[in-house]
Structure 1
Amino acid sequence: MAFDVDLFVIGGGSGGVRAARMAAARGARVALAEQSRLGGTCVIRGCVPKKIMVFASQFRETLDLAPGYGWTLGDGAFSWETFRARLDAELDRLEGVYRRLLEGSGVTIHPTRAVLEDPHTVRLEDGGRVSAAHVLVATGGHPVRPDIPGAALGLVSDDMFTLDRLPRSLLIVGGGYIACEMAGIFAGLGVQVTQFYRGAQILRGFDDEARGLVAEALQERGVSLHVGTDLLCLGGPDAVFDLPAGERPPEPEGPSDGPVKVKPTHGAEQVFDAVLFATGRAPSTKGLGLEEIGVRLGRRGHVEVDRYSQTAVPSVYAIGDATDRPALTPVAIRDAMAFAETVFGGKPTPVDHEALASAVFTQPELGTVGLTEEEAREREPVEIYATSFRPLRTAFAERPDRVLMKLVVSRETRRVLGVHIVAPDAGEMIQLAAIAVRMGATKEDFDRTIAVHPTMAEEMVTLREPVRRA
């Protein structure tokens, strides 16, 4: 059978674009459909705008530190409108870069939604149909709201980059990395931030010692953090929540542009200018026709794939956040490269997702690679090397900030099983530490490395005695 294209990619995010370009570079005829904006979550409504907002929010701390270094400054004022215009222009520029890269690779772009009719036929929402030898699902994920009354009044992370104005007060519901990053950003921009998390400590799944220090830092920066607390319902500023049993108030149609009253599981009802739900994300796989053609979906809606990204339908593959792999942009890009090499390069290439480095862009940042102390203790006897101290930059200005450097080491092999850093620019440091961990470096390899002084990172190679063994 002759197909219109060799590859049809559904989704124009980082993974989908990389797969399309690499397949085209290997001589494949490629088409790609994206119903929203090229660049996907990372470029348009995730990593890139978030990091730019982190930068914007850090200037308040710089202004606060300046007098301690002898500077006399006037009152700083932040203009959300000016910043938004610059941010929008930058995202437009980046989307244009993605478009030019695809067009320059010879990829046909369909700016519309696409669904699968059968294992080799893609139906476009504008009425067209394209037959393909292979189909790649790279649709990413989306934020979800909890199933509670009035949830539609709340915002999700996508909305935070397009606000018309800064709220004076913001309630953030959630304790994952998105919730904590947003708390730091908006507190830094001068918003009164409250954070509810139903668990005992934020950043579940990260090293306990590191997450504890991040929680302290959030509170020192003005975030009112309440753990063990969740929301029961939301309403307008005059809402009455004590309705008869089994009765729910009318559901709002969308996010509120005015004050929102909330009823928490603990404490009194409160009113906020805005509420942000950062309570998780789900794969964007609904309504793509996947199950109808035999592709298996997991409980959360993720596409089930093998180590080569192939589904139960041989012609259909999936990568990135549409699968159950770690929801990180570099993972989606590496998946895309492996897919192209496997299908169009003639070299079956699985992706190793072990010992992934990641960074949480809180303030200070949390960088991590490998096993947490808790995970390592369950596997084998370990030694923990750690130090927490006041960094020179803020200590000189008499600020209480603290940072953490931590190594988790196997007592038997001496390999460094995990590295955890809580500090400014921890993301930059952990990228380099990840190379050592992936190469199997031992504690003695770290010890033989001469320090760079004066830096925070030098503590990683000067930790001589373990603080505990387990």
Structure 2
Amino acid sequence: MAFDYDLFVIGGGSGGVRAARVAASDAGARVGLAEASRYGGTCVIRGCVPKKLMVFASEYAPTLADAAAYGWQVEANGFDWPGFRAKLEAELDRLEGIYRKMLAGSGVETFDQRARLADPHTVELADGTKKTARHILIATGGWPVKPEMENAEAALTSNEVFHLDELPKSMLIVGGGYIACEFAGIFNGLGTQVTQYYRGAQILRGFDDEARGLVAEEMQQAGVDLHLGTNIIAMERDGDGLRVKATNGTERTFDQVLFATGRAPNTAGMGLEEAGVELGRRGEVVVDEYSQTSVPSVYAIGDVTDRLNLTPVAIREGMAFVETVFRGNPTPVDHASVPTAIFTQPEMGTVGLSEEAAREQGPIEVYCTSFKPMHTAFAGRADRVLMKLVVCAETRRVLGCHIVAPGAGEMIQLAGIAVKMGATKEDFDRTVAVHPTMSEEIVTMRAPVRTG
């Protein structure tokens, strides 16, 4: 059978675009790609990039205060949200344009419309056109979910929060994951009165307990009104705001409510199950280690598979897919010891196992220190940072590294190389400290604080 394409990709996010571009330019494949929204996906349009720019913007308030403490005469006249938003949207337009140019330059044919799977080798576009392909790649990412409750539509998700007409004076953020905590820091830094409800016992579930505990303490010290073990019971419109009744017995009105209560794989209405593609309990596409689905001609990468939902991981999965399918080099995706950063304030960088996960695997030693960094201590701030290594007691390998500090994301990228290579605690010890820095503590901790 003659196919229209060697590969058809559904989804124009980071993973799908990388797979399409490399398959076309490097492997010489005939490639088509359909995207119903904007090119760049969650990361570029409504995730990592705009969020990080907002983090940068929100961090200038304490920086200005620090500048005065260091002898600079400064004057802050408030934050210009409309001016910032216009510049932010222009930057996203620029980045989307780059994605489109990269695809066109690689010879990928693009379709700006929704696509669904018609059968194992056929994609149906929204206008009814059908395209056949030897291989089909599902890369449709994830989508924010709201709790099922009355008036939920009145609340924001992370998709809409970048496009507010004005900066709210008060905001309730519901959720305790990294998205909720990052936006709590952002809006608090921009001058909004931020309240955060999380139904669990501590924010950032799944991360190292000691590290997430310090993040929670520092967030509260910075002004975030954090309520743990608390959830929404009811919500209704109250003038221009939203009146919220909570499980802690309070009723309050907020200018905006942001639900950061999770994301679901974006598979609804795509014809996947009808075509024989197995989906998991949350709607995720079930794949093997080579990203192949239950239908041999159909593959899936990125958040739609709900494996490790990070942009660089989706890109790695896309590259491994091309190696496997178009270069005849079966390449499984390695999801072990992936470094990542949570852009809370302060940041958290982490790679490898948490203390709790490592302890379940065998005897460990924990090296940890928490202190006031020179920069903010001199300015009179009480901020604390944390440096932590989790070490296997038998092999001496560093199983996990956890940093809570300004710039933790930059630090963990480099520490991640050592952990991925299997460095031992003695390898860290043999490394000379860079002084005076916060990160030098990673190589100067000599005695464990806990064993077990």
TM-score range, shorter chain: over 0.9
3-state DSSP class of the match of 2:87?
A: helix
Q: Show the counterpart of 1:441.
A: 423
3-state DSSP class of the match of 2:445?
A: coil
CA deviation after TM superposition for structure 1 residue 315, in Å? 0.5
1:352 to 334, 337, 340: 334
Work out the CA distance in 2 between the residues paired with 1:170 and 1:113: 34
2:350 to 350, 356, 368: 368
- Give the unaligned 5+ runs of structure 1: 239-257
User: What TM-score, normalized by structure 1, do the two folds share?
Assistant: 0.95
2:316 counterpart of 1:334: yes
2:219 counterpart of 1:237: no
CA contact (8 A) 1:149 1:232 kept: no
Q: Show the counterpart of 1:8.
A: 8
Q: Show the counterpart of 2:204.
A: 203
Work out the CA distance in 2 between the residues paired with 1:167 and 1:196: 17
CA deviation after TM superposition for structure 1 residue 442, in Å? 0.2
Work out the CA distance in 1 between the residues paired with 2:237 and 2:439: 49
3-state DSSP class of the match of 2:118?
A: strand
CA contact (8 A) 1:151 1:233 kept: no
CA deviation after TM superposition for structure 1 residue 279, in Å? 0.3
1:420 to 388, 399, 402: 402
Alignment of 1:244-263 (within 5 A): 258-263=240-245
CA deviation after TM superposition for structure 1 residue 123, in Å? 0.6
2:109 counterpart of 1:108: yes
Q: Show the counterpart of 1:254.
A: none
Alignment of 1:176-215 (within 5 A): 176-215=177-216
Counterpart AA for 1:16 = G
CA deviation after TM superposition for structure 1 residue 117, in Å? 0.8
Counterpart AA for 2:12 = G
Work out the CA distance in 2 between the residues paired with 1:308 and 1:374: 30
1:327-362 Cα distance to aligned partner (Å, 9 max, x none) = 100110000000001000110100110111110001
2:374 to 383, 392, 398: 392
Work out the CA distance in 2 between the residues paired with 1:403 and 1:323: 35
- The runs of at least 4 aligned residues of structure 1 exceeding 4 Å deviation read none
Q: Show the counterpart of 1:291.
A: 273
CA deviation after TM superposition for structure 1 residue 139, in Å? 0.1
- Give the unaligned 5+ runs of structure 2: none
Work out the CA distance in 2 between the residues paired with 1:330 and 1:302: 19
Q: Show the counterpart of 1:125.
A: 126
Work out the CA distance in 2 between the residues paired with 1:82 and 1:372: 41
1:104-136 Cα distance to aligned partner (Å, 9 max, x none) = 000000000001111111110022111111100
3-state DSSP class of the match of 2:230?
A: coil
Q: Show the counterpart of 1:249.
A: none
Paired-residue identity, %: 69
Work out the CA distance in 2 between the residues paired with 1:456 and 1:75: 29
CA deviation after TM superposition for structure 1 residue 267, in Å? 2.1
Work out the CA distance in 1 between the residues paired with 2:79 and 2:151: 32
1:27-69 Cα distance to aligned partner (Å, 9 max, x none) = 1000000000000000000000000000000000101111210
Counterpart AA for 1:71 = W
3-state DSSP class of the match of 2:360?
A: helix
CA contact (8 A) 1:5 1:133 kept: yes
Work out the CA distance in 2 between the residues paired with 1:173 and 1:8: 38
Work out the CA distance in 2 between the residues paired with 1:268 and 1:311: 47
User: What TM-score, normalized by structure 2, do the two folds share?
Assistant: 0.99
Work out the CA distance in 2 between the residues paired with 1:41 and 1:76: 33
Q: Show the counterpart of 2:38.
A: 37
CA deviation after TM superposition for structure 1 residue 75, in Å? 3.0
Q: Show the counterpart of 1:242.
A: none
Aligned residue pairs total: 451
CA contact (8 A) 1:7 1:31 kept: yes
CA deviation after TM superposition for structure 1 residue 76, in Å? 3.0
Q: Show the counterpart of 2:22.
A: 22
1:273-310 Cα distance to aligned partner (Å, 9 max, x none) = 00000000000011110000100000000000011111
3-state DSSP class of the match of 1:65?
A: helix
3-state DSSP class of the match of 1:157?
A: coil
Alignment of 1:315-330 (within 5 A): 315-330=297-312
